[in-house]
Amino acid sequence: MKVLLKNGRLIDPVSGKDTVLDIFIVDGIIEKIRSKISTDKDTESHDLTGKIIAPGFTDMHVHLREPGFEYKETIETGCLAAAAGGFTGICCMPNTNPPLDDASVIRYIQEQSRRTNNGIVDVYPVAAVTKGREGKELSPMIELAEAGAVGFTDDGEPVEHAEIMRRALEYVSMLGKPIIQHAEDCTMTKDGTMNEGFVSTSLGMSPMPPIAEEIIIERDLRLVKYIQGSQYHVAHISAAGSVELIRQAKRRGLPVSCEATPHHFSLTDEAVRSFDTNTKMNPPLRTRDDVEAVKEGLRDGTIDVIATDHAPHSYDDKQVEYMFAPFGIVGLETAIGLAITELVEAKVLTLHRFIEKCSTNPRKILHLTPINIDVGEKANLTLFDQALEWVVDVQQFKSKSKNSPFHGIKLKGKAIGIVNNGRSYFI
C-alpha cells in the first residue's frame, strides 16, 4: 500500500509540529515527510488542503456489546463507527455477556477485532474489576492483564465496596494499569432517571443527585493516597463538584485522571423536557453550571481526555417510557463535530489541546505505545476537516444502533479518514 497525504496541516502535540506538508506512507510505514513529495501512478493520493493530520485518536470508553448483545452492536460495526468517527483505537468496556472477567473473552475480542475491517481500528479490552461485575469478588486481574487488558473497570456499575476498591488499587499498583471508576453511589440513585434539580422536580422524574458521583470520587481519592503507586481514572465525569475534587487531587500530586463525554459538555438536563429517551444516560445530563464546570476542567487540564461512552441500544430498547429506557447513547460518529463546535470554535480549547485530549493523553493513561509521526515510524493518523459543516443524520451512521440526541443538529468539524495498521479509510 502506498498512500500520499498532500498539503495537510500536521498538528502533533508530542513533537510540537504544526506545519503544512506531505506525508508518504508505504506498507503502513512513514517513508517521507516533506513540503512537497512526488510519487508514481500506483500511489493512492489525497489532497488535504485545509485539512488536519493528527496522531490517531483513541477513545477510552466504548461499549461494543459483543459478546452477548450483538443486536445492539458488534465488534465489526463498532469498529466501522470508530473509523467513520476518526478513531484508530477504541477501548471496549466489560459489560458484555459473558463479561470481560476471563482471559478467554479478552482473547476472543482481540481475535475478532483483528479479523474485522482488516484490523484498521485497534481494539483494547478493558477488563472487569470484579467477577461478573457484581462488586463482590476481585476478578483474576493478573491473568487478565497478561491476556492484554489495558485497564480495569466495572463500568455501568461502580466499585462501591471500599475494601474491594482498596485491593484492586493494590493490584494495579503492581500491574501498571489504571482502575477506571464509574463513580456512582447507587444507594442514592436507585430507580433514578435524570439529574436531581429544578427540571427533575418540574417533570416529576426520579432523581440522580450529583453528590452520588462526588461521594464515590472523594472516597476513592483517599484510597489512592493510601495505596502508593496506584493509578485512578474517573470515567464520564459530569458534576461540578467532581471536577473540583479531581482538580484539588492533582494539585496534591495524586496519580489521578478523568474523562468527559461530548454529551456532558454539549447538553443540559433541559434536554430531558423533550422526553426523548436518547437524552437518558448515566451519569445523567446535568445543569448549565455543571456543563460550564466540565468545560473549565477541559480548559485548565483538570479533565485529561475526551471519550464518547459510546453505548448502542436498539430502536426497540429506546422506544419505551422514559423511566424504563436503558441509559446511553452512541457517540463515536459525532465526537469530533461536537468537540470542535462546543470547544474549539468556542475558544475553550485550542486545536492542539483538543488533539492532545483525544490522542496523546488516552494513550499515556493506558500506557499504550506513543504515536510518533516521523520517518520510519508506523503511520497511525486521524484526518479531519475543522471547517466542514454538516447535519447529523443517524441513518447515515455506521453503528448498528442510532440512539443519538443529536439527530438533525448542525455541527462544524468532521473526520474525513484514518490511516493505521497498513490500511487507509477515507470517507
Q: Tell me which residues are annotated as active site.
A: 309
What are the residues facing 389 on neighbouring strands? 412
The beta strands (E) that lie in 235-380 are given as 256-260, 305-306
Q: Name the residue among 368, 153, 91, 425 with its Cα closest to residue 360.
A: 368
Torsion from C-alpha of 268, 270, 274, 280, nearest 10 degrees:
40
Q: The C-alpha cell of 168 is what?
A: 484492586
In what order do the strands lie in the sheet containing 179-181?
Answer: 179-181, 232-234, 256-260, 305-306
CA-CA distance, 62 to 90, in Å (whole number)?
6
CA-CA distance, 313 to 281, in Å (whole number)?
11
Query: H or E segment at 353?
Result: helix 351-355
Residue 350 CA from chain centroid, whole number: 19
Query: H or E segment at 11?
Result: strand 2-12
What is the DSSP annotation of 266-295? H--GGGGGG--GGG--SSPP--HHHHHHHH
CA-CA distance, 381 to 116, in Å (whole number)?
19
SS3 content of the chain, % helix, strand, coil (to 5): 35, 25, 40
CA-CA distance, 56 to 185, in Å (whole number)?
35
Q: Name the residue among 414, 266, 410 with its Cα closest to residue 342.
A: 266
Cβ-contact 248, 200 below 8 angstroms:
no
Cβ-contact 402, 393 below 8 angstroms:
no
